[in-house]
Structures are given as C-alpha cells and as structure tokens.
Amino acid sequence: MAITLNSGFKMPVVGLGVWRMEGKEIRDLVFNALNLGYRHFDCAADYKNEPEVGEALAEALSTGLVKREDLFITTKLWNSDHGHVVEACKDSLKKLRLDYLDLYLVHFPVATKHTGVGTTGSALDEDGVLEIDTTVSLETTWHAMEELVSMGLVRSIGISNYDIFLTRDCLVYSKVKPAVNQIETHPYFQRESLVKFCQKHGICVTAHTPLGGAAANVELFGSVSCLDDPVIKNLAEKYKRTVAQIVLRWGIQRNTVVIPKTSKLERMKENIQVFDFELTKEDMDLIGKVDRKHRTNQPAKFWGVDLYA
C-alpha cells in the first residue's frame, strides 16, 4: 500500500526507521525487513549508519533479492550542513551506495555551525548551548534542496520537524513544493491541526516515532508511552491485535505514513501486518480522545536549548 506524493512518486505507507541501529545488526535488519516485505527505509546522516545500510542494500541489490526501483530510500540533511546541501547529499549517496534518493528531507528547521560535510556534529558553545548559524536561512537551504531535484540526485524533497508556520513559509518560497513533512505524531501527540494543514496543501505527513518511542524514549527522555494506554490496550483485545498494530493502523487511517523502528524480528513482522483489518470510526474517535499533547523526542537534552519553546 502506497501514497502518491505531490511529486508523482509513490511512497509505501509503512517503512522501517533505522535510528539507533548499529554495526553488524544492520545487515540482518535490512535483510529480515526485505524478506518480510518492507521496501521503505528511513535513514539520516545523523544516525551515523548510512555506510552499513548502504552495504546491506548493495548486497540485496546485487544478489537480486530486490530491485532498486522497488525500494524507497529516505535520508536527511543534518543541521550543520545547511550551507552545504549538494555536498551533503552526495556524501549520503556515496555512503548508501545509491545513484539517487527517493526522498531527501531537511532534518530540523535550524542551521547550526558547520563541522565538516557528513560529520553531523552538534557544536555547543562554552555554556553548552547549540551553536545556531544565523547566516543561512531556511529559504536558502530549500532552494539548494530544489537543485538536487534538477540534478537528478533526488526524486522528492521534504521537510521534517516543521510546525505550521514554517511549513506555510516553505510553501510560499518553494518552486518545488515539499512532498513530505516528517514529524513526531502518535496517539499521545496527535497534532491534528498540523497534520490537516499539511494534507490540505498536498504535503504527505510521515509519522516518525509513530509508537511514541516505546521503551527507548521512556529510557532516553523519561517520556510516557501510549502503548500502555488502557483505551488502546482494550482495542487490541477487541481486534485481537498487538497494541502496536492498533496504533500503526490508526496512523495509516489518518492517511499518514508510519515508520516504526525495531530490531526484533517478531515485532518487525507485526508492524507490517496492518493491512488486513480496519478500525471503525468509533474506535478511531476513541483513540482521538487519548491525546496528551506529549512530545517524547526531546533534543533539548543534548542541545542545551529548547527549539520547541
């Protein structure tokens, strides 16, 4: 099942996120995912594992396990490379061993001190606060992203972690409209206004952290997981599904793309088995009522500044 982007290309509605995946486990992760039917992989320069993902993809392509045209590969421009968009994209392509990207996103709407192409540094000042670059505008960054499309390096371009105001501005100054806005959204952080605004203007919403980050974000950021919500647990019993499957199905029925992350084979299997049932409108509405406006992903912990404040 796929969504057609405003660029005309199709994007599978379930993908696999590779954040926090490391080393040797990546090959197994990619091959297991491909064998289960995943064709959409969500990467980023900042995940620091593009070479390992690229190695696994190259092996899968060379052995005929999958064809390049059947894959949808996303990666992202890091904050420190806003003034070096073309170089950063080429660096990611080299690491991923690809000739083109299906989707390239501006990872965060902030330019930071350049630390060298592809190094994805987050330089902090003497007070431990992120060194924000005030010489590169988001408009300048976007026009460089548009060049990538003209150069044939990227099929679709998009934004990530943009709010309504920044998304609206991007629509104003863009010649090539953003195809995607990848944001955190899940039952505890539904962001209905932002989701509807993007969809109204032809921008596909991809839900990163579609399960609320589960145990990983509870541990890393001290967040609360929607997978423990009694309403959703009851629905899982009703539909005879896992809680995660209910949450992902809810995301799909909102017309968002979901990219859950897991390295566990059984969960990977469950996460893609969400197309043979449908939540009723009443049950969608029930989940709509559990929203806590709770952001689980908190980069301020590392950056010394809350960019969402």
Residue stretches of the annotated binding site for substrate? 107
Rg (CA), the chain: 19
Distance in angstroms between the alpha carbons of the first and the last residue of the chain = 37
Burial of 220 (0-12, 13-18, 19+ CB in 10 A): middle
> What gap in Å lies between CA 256 and CA 250, rounded to an integer?
9
Burial of 262 (0-12, 13-18, 19+ CB in 10 A): buried
Binding residues, as ranges, are 107
Residue from 153, 136, 146 nearest 178 by CA:
146
Structure token digits, residue 88: 């950063």
Residue from 282, 303, 278 nearest 125 by CA:
303
In 3-state terms, the chain is what percent helix, strand and coil (to 5)?
40, 15, 40
Of residues 47, 104, 162, 188, which has the active-site annotation?
47
Catalytic status, residue 308? no
How many Å separate Cα 244 from the centre of its chain?
Answer: 17
Hey, which residues are catalytic here?
A: 47
